[in-house]
Amino acid sequence: MKQCIACGMPMRKVDDYPLGDTTKNYCKYCARANGSMQSYDEKLASMTEFIIRTQGLDAHVAQKSAAFMISKLPAWKRGSDD
Amino acid sequence: MNKRTQQREQTRIEILTAAEHIYAVHGFIRPSTQMVAKEAGVAHGTVFLHFQSQEKLILAVIENLGQSLTSQIHESSVPGHSLNEVLQTYLTAIEANESLYTHLIMELPQLPKEAQQTVIGIQSVIAHHLDQVMSQLKKEKKIKDLSFPFLFNTWIGLIHYYLMNRRLFAPHGSVLAVYKDQLIANFITLLEVDCT
């Protein structure tokens, strides 16, 4: 079972992959509509939005937490340093 | 990996394991690095060779805990899980690390900000799985139409209250071992739409 390099989610079924493409190493939540992988800024924004929508946190706290979480993932280990 | 690197990695793991044990019993703030060194059977200076500072050692233990909990929750979550099964998965993962996790949430205000962010990371994983199952149940009008953050924070608040007061609820052991099933059952009953 592969794990999304951009958010850490396990990808078990075809439906978890962007446009059902199981050769990709990122999941459908980390892909744009055309199936390409979101940029660091796009992922940071979507993760921040997810934290606000599900946990109701302050926007600034949510963004800091999202940046911390994605900094641990293979796709963003360098992009998160700034 | 050569033998020297292997030994170094092994010592690092032994120090981390010893620190996890000490922090699970005494919390993160009170224990000294000497206590950790003694538990690991290494010289005090060896702890700093691997972790540079007490703060870095604490954060390494917390990061390990976060990774362990999130991978347990992800691995046990199967598509199509019921609400009961998602909540069970979360509490089973917490129960396996109950003492360390309880100290983490109780001491959060005194710990570095990365500790808070790790807790939000753990919560984001369970939020992802709960969001999927609850959205479907809301569409089917099987649970009340309350906002997701309210439902989520009510659940987390309930669990944290029991964990933080475990001396009142289960002074001699695991509070989740005793209350897990009834907390889940009652939470689901609260959410269910009354069809009578």
Q: DSSP string covering B83-141, please?
A: HHHHHHHHHHHHHHTHHHHHHHHHHGGGS-HHHHHHHHHHHHHHHHHHHHHHHHHHHTT
| ipTM of the complex, rounded to two decimals | 0.86
Q: Within chain A, what is the greatest distance between any pair of CA atoms?
A: 37
Interchain contact A57–B (C-beta under 8 A): yes
Higher pLDDT, A67 or A7: A67
Q: Which of A8, A54, A68 sits opposite B117 (nearest CB)?
A: A68
Interchain contact A8–B (C-beta under 8 A): yes
Domain B1-52's class? mainly alpha
pLDDT tens per residue, range A9-42: 888 889 889 999 999 999 998 999 999 999 999 9
For chain B, domain boundaries: 1-52, 54-191
pLDDT tens per residue, range B62-113: 999 998 998 888 878 777 889 999 999 999 999 999 999 999 999 999 999 9
Which stretches does DSSP call E strand in chain A?
Answer: 2-3, 10-11
Task: Judge: B124–A56 Cβ closer than 8 Å, yes or no.
Answer: no
For residues A59 and B145, give the distance between their C-alpha atoms in angstroms, rounded to a whole number. 24
CATH of B54-191, one of 1.20.1050.10, 1.10.357.10, 3.30.540.10, 1.10.260.40: 1.10.357.10
Tell me if B149 sits within 8 A of B156, measured CB to CB: no
Which residue in A55, A63, A80 has the most chain B C-beta atoms within 10 A of its own C-beta, making it the best mutation to test that interface? A55
Least confident span in A3-7, B9-13, B120-124: A3-7
Task: Please name which of B153, B173, B181 lies closest in space to residue B99, comparing C-alpha atoms.
Answer: B173
pLDDT tens per residue, range B131-186: 989 999 999 999 999 999 999 999 999 999 999 999 999 999 999 999 999 999 99
Mean pLDDT, all residues of chain A: 89
pLDDT for B80 equals 80
DSSP state of A2: E
For chain A, domain boundaries: 2-81
